[in-house]
A and B are shown apart, each in its own frame.
Chain A
């Protein structure tokens, strides 16, 4: 009887631990979509843009990347991230 109670308690604890881990897992999974405003990211997007064929998408990506650089120079991190994100989206087109 005592063993059964102990086992039930252990299962409950495991169940709760599993649920507690869900937000962390989701957060880590979502991390891949976050962009950082730094030279490495800007260089990576620049390399993607160089590989694009000429066209509207390339022009858009180039303009967005330049806007991101301008924002970075003004220490506007959020604006920089937003333009990098738009530039990345344009490279995916």
Chain B
């Protein structure tokens, strides 16, 4: 079949026209990116599936520490205190931030289908266009595994238990100081990935 056969010309012509239509639609700003207007279901499905697969593929070789149930780890894992406004701690009503984010931030008190490795990857690298930051830029892996341990414990906690944990958890500054000596050992970044 030659390149100049009518069949090929039809396929290529259709693709060129489609690309042109998409380019015009983008340039004219036809797609509404406002956070208070949800995606259509097909677009939402497409983006969600792309995100889930991207995380699953990149997290599959991460080695999970076997001490995620350790009380000390869990306590240290509450390092990002302001996260509760987006992800909601046990006993919290929806907040102005959690209700205005799109896509909605997962409510961690409800539990998750993600594996610990997938949670670690998301916390470390963040997720584009969601408001989820890459905590790995400023925190080492040990501390991020503490966060995974804490996040996995959250659904089991009552509001009272959560409050007690908040009061007794180490302060952010203390944990950052603990992290400094580890920074030179190169233990953090590649040990679990």
Q: Is the CB of A46 within 8 A of B113?
A: no
Q: Is the CB of B36 within 8 A of A46?
A: no
A53 proximal to B (CB < 8 A): yes
Residues of B within 8 Å of A75, CB to CB, are: none
Contact size range, A: under 10
Q: Is the CB of B36 within 8 A of A48?
A: no
- B107 CB → nearest A CB, Å: 8
Q: Is the CB of A48 within 8 A of B37?
A: no
Residue of B nearest to A42 (CB): B38
Known: A40-B36, A44-B36. A50 touches B44 (CB 8 A): yes
- B96 CB → nearest A CB, Å: 11
Residues of A within 8 Å of B113, CB to CB, are: 53
Q: Is the CB of B103 within 8 A of A43?
A: no
B106 proximal to A (CB < 8 A): yes
- B30 CB → nearest A CB, Å: 18
Q: Is the CB of A51 within 8 A of B103?
A: yes
B58 proximal to A (CB < 8 A): no
Apart from A44-B99, A48-B104, A50-B103, what 18 extra A-B contacts exist at CB < 8 Å?
A40-B36, A43-B36, A43-B37, A43-B38, A44-B36, A46-B38, A47-B38, A47-B102, A47-B103, A47-B104, A50-B38, A50-B39, A50-B41, A50-B44, A50-B104, A51-B103, A51-B104, A53-B113
